[in-house]
Amino acid sequence: MRSFWGKAALAGAGMLMANITVQAQLQKDYPIKPVAFTQVRVNDNFWAPKIRTNASVTIPYTLEQCRKTGRIDNFLRAAGKIPGDKLTEYTFDDTDLYKVIEGASYGLQMQPNPGLEKYLDTLISIIGAAQEKDGYLYTFRTVKAAKPHEWIGSKRWEKEEDLSHELYNSGHLFEAAVAHYQATGKKTLLNIAIRNADLLVRDFGWGKEEKFPGHQIVETGLTRLYRVTGNKSYLDLAKFFLDVRGPGTHYSQEYSQSHKKVTDQHEAVGHAVRATYMYTGMADVAALTGDRKYLTAIDDIWDDVVDRKLYITGGIGATGAGEAFGAAYELPNMSAYAETCAAIANVYWNSRMFLLHGDAKYIDVLERTLYNGLLSGVSISGDRFFYPNPLASMGQHQRSAWFGCACCISNMTRFLPSMPGYVYAQKDNDLYVNLFVGDSATIQLKAGKVNIVQQTDYPWNGKDEITINTAKPTTFTLRVRIPGWAENRPVPGNLYFEEDSSAVKIPILLNGNPVAYTTEKGYAVINRSWKKGDKVTLDFPMEVRKILAAAAVKDDHSRFALERGPIMYCLEGPDNKDATVQNIVVDKQAVVSPVYRPDLLSGVMTLQMPGNSASRQLNSDSLIRSSQTVTAIPYFSWANRGPAEMTVWIPFEASAARPKPAPTIASKSKVTASVKNQRMYMALNDQYEPKDSKDNSALYLHWWPAKGTTEWVQYTFDSSHTVSSSKVYWYDDGPFGGCRVPAAWKLYYKQGGEWKPVNAKAPYTVEKDKYNVITFEPVTTTALKLEIQLPADNAAGIHEWIVE
């Protein structure tokens, strides 16, 4: 794909004029307008390289993966262009192609590329050929497979409220179509989307198919189509898809936010990506219709998230069970799901909340998410990815080249090119500066055209010079966000705080002299007649801050997190003694020193501080403690150097740390198993004491989704040992998960080339929430094997296997 990335000119002036005309016809919309990313040229040393990497590496890589994995073949088979009915794994795989086309189209708006544009034309013709005559576009049904996917149902829309994702696919199609049209002026994909949207208008509505989307996003896709076409039936349908949700169908449940009418929802529940896409759609429809009942609901839901369910990295979705929001203050670190897609959706939602209310607190959350929990989703190289973004790891988490469910990868490709669109916003003669990014932008206010230039080394440096250029003296109001972190407020609300902090006022210079300013909704407000070359200078304090969590967040007790500017930090193995960080303790009063490392991770600001670490020793409860220099790196940059330990929340009391394991028979053994997953093997001998059988805050080995089979794990010792006891702590995440304690288990030792059962002194036990101990006649051997019979209807798993 790299050969597609050259340079050329774009057409589209007529399309832009047509779009402006449609926009003028819309009676309502957000009171504040974002300044489109096409008007903002980012040229700094932080975001510009990341956007270039997305264009030169991530988008071509993802397009190629769509080809290799059969996503393009889905459309070719549906169109009858190639034989066979074997499709990819998931019914929403078509959206990966739509999302990459969207991201590539954004890229074309910023950098013309005739080769890429031609390739998109080819893809769009393939998509169009797969569309049925009445506008239906869903390859998994159109292909008429001999054995249809179990999620699709026997007829259109039958399982839409459950798993078919027919409307989810349409939503991403609409988003891609608008992006491609605005980039190229071509209506090829837009016409495909319009035919599909017209079908939805014919099929869905009161008195017709009264069903809601199982996975939301069609709502925002429809509002985007409405803005481009002016066809109000698309807006009406988006509102219907919101209003039809609620009790009364088999699929009404918190998981899909259909347990209540949307206007009766005041708490964030269920699948975090679906939820935040829906809240974004509610904001769009509220803005375009003036329906304020939606606003009451999403205002309350936003408060619930920020006060109770937000990770310090801006991540949302605490649990992998349903990829969902957890209960209030349920924010585990090792098992944090914090899906990349959820972070992207959180940015979309907070951006809309700002456009509705004009309050900087929404941009505070957006910025925190953007620099931390979102950016962590893609590697520095641009071709390795995270699906979940945990806040601690024993080394089991590592970036992947691809996922069977690739939604986060394709979502990242479409988000990064649009990032400049979050820097500025405008309302009449108010110009908002929301993010601090080196750039140049030209913005049309009512009073006249304004060129604004930011020069900054943010986020490593707090100084930002904002130069205003106007053709003639022009009166307007500049509103510069004062970040909450700069005023000792890590996030809105009380979920996270800095101990013993007090509010500070940020000095602002105008043409080198202090300027008096008022503050409104988190913005420094400067109203004056501006002339060419006027310069506003801010210098945000970049002290390192130790952030604490509310007492209700049990997982963060006796720990702090390090913040510098908008960047959250973590400890990672490669930078610290013995590649171990879970055993580190740093005093709350320790002095932390920033050190910029141009040679590390493409150039990052590191933090260094004194600390100590603890290690266990054999046959003793006392710990070996040693002093060391502790190094922290930006959270977004972790896991770029292979598997490693990591933690965001650093213990300041020894009781919160996890000492380095002692060298036992088990810890020195080589692990093999019938499940081929090296990352899980370290669970067996990491000496982590689980709280109970369903504790997923650390590692465990499991055989899900296998059922009823005979499985095994094996320790091959470093040398011959005499052993006479073994104990196992089972993983069982019932009643909702797929693992239960095994039906039976048995221990074997190796003698020569044979496996022989140990001579047990008592019957084997199978119990939850405790170690199951077996003692046996002593054997001298080089290996032990644990044989497990899985239950008939479930898998099984192991937290820890100890040998004595």
Q: 449-506: per-residue pLDDT in tens?
A: 999 999 999 999 999 999 999 999 999 999 999 999 999 999 999 999 998 777 788 9
653-700 pLDDT, tens per residue?
998 998 888 889 998 999 999 998 888 898 999 888 898 999 887 789
pLDDT at 9 over 50: no
Looking at 622, 656, 690, the residue that finishes a domain is 656
The answer to whether residues 188 and 318 belong to one domain is no
Average pLDDT over residues 357-376: 98
Separation of alpha carbons 119 and 105, rounded Å: 11
Residue 549 tokens, joined = 């969590």
The answer to whether residues 91 and 181 belong to one domain is yes
Taking Cα atoms as reference points, which of 166, 169, 167 lies closest to residue 98? 169
User: Whole domain around residue 724: which residue ranges?
Assistant: 670-803
Separation of alpha carbons 413 and 405, rounded Å: 15
492-548 pLDDT, tens per residue?
999 999 987 777 889 999 999 999 999 999 999 999 999 999 999 999 999 999 999
Tally Cβ neighbours within 10 Å of residue 577: 19
User: Mind giving me the DSSP string for 215-263?
Assistant: S--HHHHHHHHHHHH--HHHHHHHHHHHHT-SSSSTT--GGGT-SS-GG
Q: Say if 23 falls within a structural domain.
A: no
The answer to whether residues 178 and 60 belong to one domain is yes
Residue at token pair 């991530």? 58
The fraction of the chain above a pLDDT of 90, given in percent, is: 88
Range scoring the smallest mean pLDDT among 43-57, 209-223, 433-447, 696-710: 696-710
pLDDT at 721 over 90: yes
Asked if 136 and 212 count as a contact pair (C-beta separation under 8 A), the reply is no
Q: Which helix (H) or strand (E) holds 661?
A: none
The answer to whether residues 501 and 553 belong to one domain is no
Looking at 214, 244, 274, the residue that finishes a domain is 244
Residues whose CB falls within 8 Å of the CB of residue 505, separated by 6 or more in sequence, listed in order? none
Separation of alpha carbons 141 and 468, rounded Å: 55
Side-chain-side CA neighbours of 436 within 13 Å: the count stands at: 26
Asked if 714 and 673 count as a contact pair (C-beta separation under 8 A), the reply is yes
The answer to whether residues 768 and 789 belong to one domain is yes
Count of residues making up the chain: 804
The answer to whether residues 758 and 686 belong to one domain is yes
The fraction of the chain above a pLDDT of 70, given in percent, is: 97
Average pLDDT over residues 73-94: 97
Separation of alpha carbons 390 and 429, rounded Å: 42
Q: Say if 4 falls within a structural domain.
A: no
Q: Say if 389 falls within a structural domain.
A: no
Evaluated on CA atoms 243, 245, 246, 247, the torsion sign reads: positive
Domain of 752, CATH number, reads 2.60.120.260
Residue 447 tokens, joined = 């009073």
Q: Say if 95 falls within a structural domain.
A: yes
Asked if 680 and 701 count as a contact pair (C-beta separation under 8 A), the reply is yes
Domain of 464, CATH number, reads 2.60.420
174-188 pLDDT, tens per residue?
999 999 999 999 999
Average pLDDT over residues 241-260: 93
Separation of alpha carbons 669 and 721, rounded Å: 11
The answer to whether residues 199 and 215 belong to one domain is yes
pLDDT at 10 over 70: no
The answer to whether residues 730 and 781 belong to one domain is yes
pLDDT at 20 over 50: no
Residue at token pair 């996922």? 403
The answer to whether residues 114 and 139 belong to one domain is yes
**pLDDT confidence band for 27 (50 / 70 / 90):** low
pLDDT at 554 over 70: yes
Q: Say if 709 falls within a structural domain.
A: yes
92-142 pLDDT, tens per residue?
999 999 999 999 999 998 889 999 999 999 999 999 999 999 999 999 999
Residue 582 tokens, joined = 């879970």
The answer to whether residues 476 and 488 belong to one domain is yes
564-611 pLDDT, tens per residue?
999 999 999 999 999 999 999 999 999 999 999 999 999 999 999 999
pLDDT of residue 1: 34
Separation of alpha carbons 227 and 232, rounded Å: 9
**pLDDT confidence band for 15 (50 / 70 / 90):** very low
pLDDT of residue 469: 97
Looking at 482, 517, 539, the residue that finishes a domain is 539
Average pLDDT over residues 552-560: 97
Average pLDDT over residues 7-22: 40
Q: Say if 38 falls within a structural domain.
A: no
pLDDT of residue 688: 84
Question: What's CA 787's distance to the chain center, in Å?
Answer: 38
The answer to whether residues 525 and 552 belong to one domain is no
pLDDT at 362 over 90: yes
**pLDDT confidence band for 620 (50 / 70 / 90):** confident
Taking Cα atoms as reference points, which of 329, 335, 366 lies closest to residue 349? 366
pLDDT at 398 over 50: yes
pLDDT at 402 over 80: yes
3-state DSSP assignment of residue 786: strand
Asked if 291 and 276 count as a contact pair (C-beta separation under 8 A), the reply is no
Asked if 356 and 28 count as a contact pair (C-beta separation under 8 A), the reply is no
Separation of alpha carbons 344 and 342, rounded Å: 5
- Mean residue pLDDT across the chain: 94
Global pTM reads 0.93
Q: Say if 410 falls within a structural domain.
A: no
Q: Say if 34 falls within a structural domain.
A: no
pLDDT of residue 14: 42
Using CA atoms, how far residue 558 sits from 155, 315, 551, 586, 624, in Å, is 55, 21, 10, 11, 21
Residue 498 tokens, joined = 């800095």
Using CA atoms, how far residue 202 sits from 164, 210, 212, 234, 240, in Å, is 19, 12, 15, 11, 13
The answer to whether residues 562 and 682 belong to one domain is no
Average pLDDT over residues 419-440: 98
Domain count for the chain? 5
